[in-house]
Amino acid sequence: MENMNSKYTIIIAIVAIAIIISSVAAYVFLSKPPTTSSASINLQGAGATFPYPFLNAIITKYSTDVKPNVLVNYQSIGSGGGIAALKQPTPTVDFAASDAPLSATDTANIPNALHIPETIGAVTIAYNLPGVTSGLHLTGKVIADIFQGTITEWNDPAIQNLNPDTMLPAQTINTVHRSDGSGTTFIFTGYLSASSTSWNTAVGQGKSVSWPVGTGSSGNTGVASSVNGIQYSIGYVELAYILENGMTVAAVQNLAGNWIQPSLESTQLAVQSGASSGLPAGDASWTNVSLLNAPDANAYPIVSFTYLLSYKELNEIPGMTQDKATALVQFLWYVVHDGQDLAPGLSYAKLPSNVVQIDEATIRSITFNGQQLPTT
Amino acid sequence: VDKALKQLHPQKFFTKIRSKLTGDFLFKNLAAIVAASAVVILLITGYVLTTGSVPVVQKLGANFFFGNAWNPVEGRELFGALPYLMGTLVTSGIALLIGVPLSLGIAVFLVEMAPRTLRVPISYLVELLAAVPSVIYGLWGLFIFRYWILDYIEKPLSTYLGWIPIFSGTPFGLDIFTAGVILAIMIIPTVASISKEVISAVPNSIREGAYSIGATKWEVIRHWVISYGRSGIFGAVILGLGRAVGETMAVSMLIGNATGPAAMPTSLFRPSQTMASLIANGFLEATGSLEVAAYIGVGLILLLMSLAINVGAGILVHRVLKVKGGAVE
């Protein structure tokens, strides 16, 4: 009897699953708009998770309002995965996104790679100090010493001297860092390397590094939750996350000596003044490009580009056609122009005009079989 | 009969044979293919992990297995898997230390003591625990459970017994101990429900015999029931250990994810890392070829360790424990 019952249960379960699957399939197939059936062009992209919400908003708007026949599919599998997907001999994507510029070894595998700065990342120093609810003053050197474990107490003279009017507790500092490899860590450790020679020699810059002390948490959310949950802790979090969720962050001293709170404005100022001293051409090496410690008096110091990457000559990508190449160029053009208007609403900083001009030159230089492509 | 058929109606005979053959042939081969696929998948996994980890072993040699540095920074690459191997062993050990006695208690209670009305709902609930996804355990651990551990266990222990090395360090709830306790909770349903089946398979004649010579309930359970089913219980523990060793999500949310020398599990109240959580954390954004190889190498060590646990357990069950006749394995 029991056997019979369980048999019926299994049969009912299978039938139920089959019904669910077929109804989902029917919904997917029937609800597909007819415009995308025949002449649609598919662009594949992959890469960094940081710009994903921004890119996704642009892609959705582009496919609904601008070019309904162009479908852009962006997979946020991480910068490393995106770069790997763009590599010769078999690139599987049409463009990649990365928080860090290509390294020398990557450049060898992506001949004539183009860097197109698409939005800006800023890293904030978030802390949890009962009683100190805003604007703790920190310098790059002190931050490096904290994360290196040479400053261990909140009332260390090095911190107290920067904050003469604040009562700092005699408590051990707990540092929180990203446990997953990330562009945020790349920017942050780059800043620490630039600020402290001892950090530069002992640890250095990378998407993940050998942290001398502290707890690791996954993602901006993980770090934020650890900082919020553990008193007397300090961590670094992407600006967009802070603006959306609200956390206590430090004012960091910039090159001009001012204490700057991270914001979209101070980030944009940093890019504008950092880029004014000159950026490489789109197809040159960007390995050493840095927006850290920009000269403007009100620039936030821990800022970096995130990039879209593609080929200068699109016939390097298998399966590329004239139509597809045109669609890709026009999409890239849209990202650095109209797409930028979506940035502030999503807590990303807009590209300043001098960077947009450099991007324009880069996108115009893209060819397919040696022929230039129309940008609009 | 077939012989007669062959002579009288050769045509019919051969159709019969053929249909029998094709049916059997198909079924036999299908079954063989399905069975072989398990072996093939294991071999392919082993092959891919081995070839993938060649660069790091060539470059670093034994240092990859016994070193404790983990530095992916370009130009300074140095990888050592020892801290994560130790982290895996220590967290799984804590899970077994806490989880196995609890599971046995649950199993014994359900079979030997619980009234019939409680037995079904409780065992159903215990099995339901196994259906909770590990990320839910991780989230619950991260937002709620770690504060309990921190306030009621770690802080008192570190205040009064902090001079003992394994309780040293400043506790903040994201460490080896919390990860081990969550793992213990996660292996309870596996160990408890299998142990329950094992214990209920112990023949009643054994219990009756023990009671008849005057044994107390405790003695019956301790000396006859558990001892009779020990190889089965051991098997249940090994299944639990397998889950603890491979668990990724919940562990990486709670263990603190230290890397390098800091990840060496020297104290229960320090952040560490297991092999599974290390791979989950770092593999996606790994860029350098040596870094990718290092993660694959850690994966290979994890695979070898899991295989060793299973093979070792099999040998133990058959050789050392000497299966008693009729006992459930």
Question: Is a pLDDT exceeding 50 seen at residue A2?
Answer: no
Quote the pLDDT of residue B11: 75
Output the pLDDT for position A278: 76
User: Which residues of chain B neighbour A172 with C-beta distances below 8 Å?
Assistant: 170
d(CA A162, CA B150): 33
Instruction: Using a CB–CB cutoff of 8 Å, tell me whether A287 touches chain B.
Output: no
pLDDT digits (tens, 9 = 90+) for B7-53: 777 777 777 776 666 778 888 889 999 999 999 999 999 999 999 99
Determine contact, residues A324/A82, Cβ cutoff 8 Å: no
Q: Are B85 and B279 in contact (CB under 8 A)?
A: no
State whether B72 and A229 contact (CB < 8 Å). no
- Identify all chain B residues contacting A108, using CB atoms and an 8 Å cutoff: none
**Chain B contact for A208 (CB, 8 A cutoff):** yes
Q: Does A44 touch chain B (CB under 8 A)?
A: no
Q: Is the pLDDT of residue A13 over 80?
A: no
pLDDT at A34: 45
Question: To the nearest whole percent, how much of chain A has pLDDT over 70?
Answer: 92
Question: Average pLDDT in the A188-205 region?
Answer: 93
Please tell me which residue of chain A has the smallest CA distance to B289. Answer: A105
Asked if A235 has any chain B CB less than 8 Å from its own CB, the reply is: no
> What are the chain B neighbours of A226 within 8 Å (beta carbons)?
174
Whether residue B284 and residue A226 make contact (CB cut-off 8 A), yes or no, is: no
Q: Which long-range contacts (CB under 8 A, 24 or more apart) does B28-37 make?
A: none
> Buried b vs exposed e over B302-329: b needs ≥16 C-beta within 10 Å?
bbebeeeeeeebeeebeeebeeeeebbe
Does residue B329 contact residue B230 with C-beta atoms inside 8 Å? no
pLDDT for res B326: 47
Q: How many CB atoms lie within 10 A of CB B153?
A: 17
Beta strands in chain B (DSSP E): 70-71, 78-79
B87 to chain A, any CB pair closer than 8 A? The answer is no
- In DSSP terms, A125 is beta-bridged to A236
What are the chain A neighbours of B172 within 8 Å (beta carbons)? 174, 215, 230, 233
What is the tens place of the pLDDT at every residue in B254-295?
A: 998 888 888 899 899 989 999 999 999 888 778 778 888 999
pLDDT at residue B323 in the model: 52
In sequence order, which residues have a C-beta less than 8 Å from that of residue B247 and are 6 or more positions away? B134, B183, B186, B274, B276
CB contact under 8 A, A180 and B281: yes
Confidence of residue B145 (pLDDT cuts 50, 70, 90): very high
Provide the residue type at A144 as one letter. Answer: A
Which B residues, 108 through 147, put their C-beta within 8 Å of a C-beta on chain A?
142-143, 146-147
> Sign of dihedral through CA atoms A166, B173, B294, A306?
negative
Please give the pLDDT value at position B320. 62
- Using DSSP, state whether B169 is helix, strand or coil: coil
In angstroms, what separates the C-alpha of A106 from chain B's closest C-alpha? 9
Q: How far apart are CA A102 and CA A361, in angstroms?
A: 19
pTM of the model: 0.79
Residues 6+ apart with CB under 8 A from A281: A361, A362
Tokens of A194: 């630039």
Q: For residue A56, name the pLDDT band (cuts at 50, 70, 90).
A: very high
Q: A182 and B285 in contact by Cβ < 8 A?
A: yes
Q: What is the DSSP string of A75-112?
A: E---HHHHHHHH-SS----SEEEESSPPPHHHHHHSTT
CA–CA dist A140, A303 (Å, integer) = 13
Q: Is A207 within 8 Å of B287 when comparing Cβ atoms?
A: yes
Q: How many angstroms separate the CA atoms of A194 and A141, rounded?
A: 9
Q: Which of residues 285-314 of B touch A (CB under 8 A)?
A: 285-289
Kindly report, residue by residue over A288-342, the tens digit of the pLDDT. 788 899 889 999 999 999 999 999 999 888 889 999 999 999 999 999 999 999 9
Chain A: give the shortest CA distance to residue B218, in Å. 34
Tokens read off for A203: 């640890």
Using pLDDT thresholds of 50, 70 and 90, give the confidence band for residue A115. very high
Chain A residues touching residue B285 (CB < 8 angstroms): 78-81, 180-182, 207-208
Query: Of A181, A212, A217, which has the smallest distance from its Cβ to B284's Cβ?
Result: A181
Contact A369, A315 (CB under 8 A): yes
pLDDT for position A30:
59
Residue A33 has pLDDT above 60, yes or no: no
Query: What average pLDDT is seen over chain B?
Result: 88
Q: Mind listing the pLDDT tens digit for each residue in A222-273?
A: 899 889 888 899 999 999 888 888 889 999 999 999 999 999 999 999 999 8
Amino acid, res. A126: A
Residue A37 confidence (pLDDT) above 70: no
Look over chain A and give the mean of its residue pLDDT values, rounded to a whole number.
Answer: 87
Taking CB atoms and an 8 Å cutoff, what residues of chain B touch A107? Answer: none
